[in-house]
Chain A
Amino acid sequence: MANALRGATVGETGLAGAIAHIEGRFGVHALARGETSERRRGEIVIATKTSLDRVIGGGLAAGEPLAFVGPPSVGKLSLALRAVAGAQAQGGMAAWIDPTASFDPLAAERAGIDLERVMVVRAPRDAVALATASALRSEGFRLVVVDAGEQVFGGTDVDDLAPALPAVRGSPAALLVIAAKRGRRVAVPAVVFERVAWERRFDRTVGWSFSVGSARGESHIDRRAIFSLTLDGGFEGGEAPIDRAEVAV
């Protein structure tokens, strides 16, 4: 009996060892589970229905990470909320990892999010990776958003998410990280946000425009989209070429 069991499982151990070896040498993204890689791209892409889709190549893809990087108040959160609404439009649920407890339900609802289908996890800084990994490993979510926040308010940074990144590959969920800076130790594909203009009325900022670009390096931006955020949904224009996208605040 023992011999039969041994004979049947030698291959399993060998395969596990081979996988571990490949992942150790080439990284955890070198291999993907069959069912994930065999899905059609249309099935795994979350479309935000904004110009962001063009910049990032069609939308957020399940099993892949993406970071929104930029200084505060340039529209990262607004586009992330649109991404959650896009994931829900496909029938999925979303997990929002929120170490700084800054998730605003009102803004989320205005962005078209069904709050019943968003799980907000106010994980402390040292548990953000754990919460992210467990949400990615679950088959219950279509999109996992990590709002890294400011470190002075208990936030985290992209590097702290390193333990969770192996869980992205093979997950039915896409990982979206909102952070002020790129990671220094881990390379997560990022789009860079820049504020390009703002509008003031009666000494009050009532809207601004920002650009989103997919950056291969720190300075080179090969694709760009410009968004306009105003309190009344208006658009003030900007330098051509402009891809207008309606983003509610």
Chain B
Amino acid sequence: MRDPVTLAVVASPDMHARLLSTLHAALPRVGVLDPGIFACDLAGTEELLGAPGRVARRVLARCVRAGAQVSVGIAPTPFVARVVAERTPSGEVRAVDDGRAFLAPLPLDVLPVDEKVREELRLLGLRIVGDFAELPRGEVFDRFGSAVARAHALARGEFGDMVRATAPPRRIRARRIWDDAIVSHEQLVFALRVVVDEISASLARDGLAALRLELRIDREDAGPLRIERTVLPPTRESTALLRSLRWALEERAEVGLVTGCVLEVPEVEAARGRQIGLFAPDGARQEEAIASARYLRAKLGRGVVLRARVADPDARLPERASEWMEVIA
């Protein structure tokens, strides 16, 4: 059994995004408790990363380099580590071995309970966390319910709140520079195929599908052209991704003299399983047909892309014999 060790980092909420990427770069399991407050699970990392104290100092130095003023707390549970970090001056590291002893003298305000419950506890004569922790757990549960019983466990430093780590964001990006400027749509689409293939391979490696594409086209005769596409349904297939970009390019009469491009996938989702088309003939891919229908619907409006159904073959009026429905509702 690994000894639980949690490192909490507290900083200004303004620095949240920057600190999150800094911590993701330094530590394996990073969870977000609140904006600007992070809990990092260090259990089992001592051989690889070193003692928690050293890790904390390294993290502190990285955060300072990133331009953030942070305080770091080390404790057995995320809750205690957070309280420790919040009570540590900025730029310092403090480690606590016994969470219950650390919390005992602190006021009830540190516990995550409603103000109403806190007031009730004060009326019962409880002033500090230690008093509350002394109460029998069963009676706390019977009287106040599960939420307060959980706070009671936290007060005893017992409840090993899980660090819910998030996957570090990964940039899926491909870039090309062309010596000779590309002047036509067809050439550009052809050249983009290589870039899209690279993105597709990258998505396939991680089991992801692209939900959004951002293409920046560098031009010799004008500023960069930025194109954003939403890919529905999300896919990693290069044909579908390239088609989406081709449609976007076709909406522009001229693209200018293109000298390079950067294609990025800012939003992904897990690739969903689908039937392998072992026996599917060409021209029977429904999702591709739906993608076309969606495009035409967006371009031409309602009442254009339709599917028919025979409602009453014996109807006396021809218009009642069939019904028309939108392919894309």
Residues of A within 8 A of B (CB): 2, 5-6, 9-10, 12-17, 19-20, 23, 39, 43-44, 62, 87, 90-93, 95, 103-106, 108-109, 115-116, 118-124, 127, 130-131, 134-135, 137-143, 172-173
Structural contact, B194 and A9, CB atoms closer than 8 A: yes
Segment from B33-41, B223-231, B294-302 that makes contact with A: B294-302
Structural contact, B289 and A93, CB atoms closer than 8 A: yes
CB distance from B294 to the nearest CB of A (A): 10
Structural contact, B182 and A124, CB atoms closer than 8 A: no
Please indicate the chain B residues that have their CB under 8 angstroms from the CB of A15 in the complex: 190
Select one of A6, A39, A120 contacting B177, CB under 8 A. Answer: A6
A141 to B327, CA, bound (A): 15
Please indicate the chain B residues that have their CB under 8 angstroms from the CB of A17 in the complex: 180, 187
Please indicate the chain A residues that have their CB under 8 angstroms from the CB of B306 in the complex: 119-122
Structural contact, B296 and A16, CB atoms closer than 8 A: no
Please indicate the chain B residues that have their CB under 8 angstroms from the CB of A39 in the complex: 282
A104 to B315, CA, bound (A): 14
With A13-B182, A106-B310, A127-B300 as contacts: A140 and B175 at CB distance below 8 Å: no
Structural contact, A115 and B290, CB atoms closer than 8 A: no
For residues 157 through 183 of chain B, which have their beta carbon under 8 Å from a beta carbon of chain A? 175-180, 182
A44 to B295, CA, bound (A): 26
Select one of B300, B313, B318 contacting A123, CB under 8 A. Answer: B300
A131 to B175, CA, bound (A): 32
Residue of A nearest to B174 (CB): A5
Structural contact, A140 and B299, CB atoms closer than 8 A: no
B304 close to A (CB within 8 Å): yes
CB distance from B216 to the nearest CB of A (A): 15
Residue of B nearest to A1 (CB): B175
A19 to B190, CA, bound (A): 9
CB distance from B232 to the nearest CB of A (A): 14
B321 close to A (CB within 8 Å): yes
A146 to B56, CA, bound (A): 69
B239 close to A (CB within 8 Å): yes
Residue of B nearest to A130 (CB): B299
Contact with A along B187-204 (1 / 0, CB 8 A): 110110010000000000
CB pairs A–B below 8 angstroms (13 shown): A2-B177, A9-B176, A13-B179, A16-B190, A17-B180, A19-B190, A62-B282, A92-B281, A104-B322, A105-B310, A106-B322, A119-B292, A120-B305
B293 close to A (CB within 8 Å): yes
Most buried by B among A14, A92, A104, A105: A105
Please indicate the chain A residues that have their CB under 8 angstroms from the CB of B179 in the complex: 6, 9-10, 13
Report, nearest first, the 5 A-B pairs whose CB atoms are least far apart. A140-B289, A142-B283, A140-B288, A105-B308, A105-B322
Select one of B288, B304, B308 contacting A118, CB under 8 A. Answer: B308
Most buried by B among A115, A118, A121, A122: A121
CB distance from A4 to the nearest CB of B (A): 10
A14 to B179, CA, bound (A): 10
CB distance from B268 to the nearest CB of A (A): 22
Select one of B184, B187, B190, B309 contacting A115, CB under 8 A. Answer: B309
Structural contact, B289 and A119, CB atoms closer than 8 A: yes
Structural contact, B308 and A141, CB atoms closer than 8 A: no
A141 to B184, CA, bound (A): 27
Structural contact, B283 and A62, CB atoms closer than 8 A: yes
B243 close to A (CB within 8 Å): yes
Contact with A along B315-326 (1 / 0, CB 8 A): 000100110100
Structural contact, B287 and A140, CB atoms closer than 8 A: yes
B247 close to A (CB within 8 Å): yes
A124 to B301, CA, bound (A): 11
B275 close to A (CB within 8 Å): no
Please indicate the chain B residues that have their CB under 8 angstroms from the CB of A130 in the complex: 296, 299-300
Known: A16-B191, A105-B310. 11 other contacts (CB 8 A): A23-B186, A62-B282, A119-B289, A119-B305, A121-B306, A123-B296, A123-B304, A137-B292, A143-B283, A172-B282, A173-B283
Structural contact, B296 and A134, CB atoms closer than 8 A: yes
With A119-B293, A131-B296 as contacts: A9 and B307 at CB distance below 8 Å: no
Please indicate the chain A residues that have their CB under 8 angstroms from the CB of B177 in the complex: 2, 5-6, 9
Structural contact, A138 and B321, CB atoms closer than 8 A: no
Structural contact, A115 and B307, CB atoms closer than 8 A: yes
CB distance from B295 to the nearest CB of A (A): 6
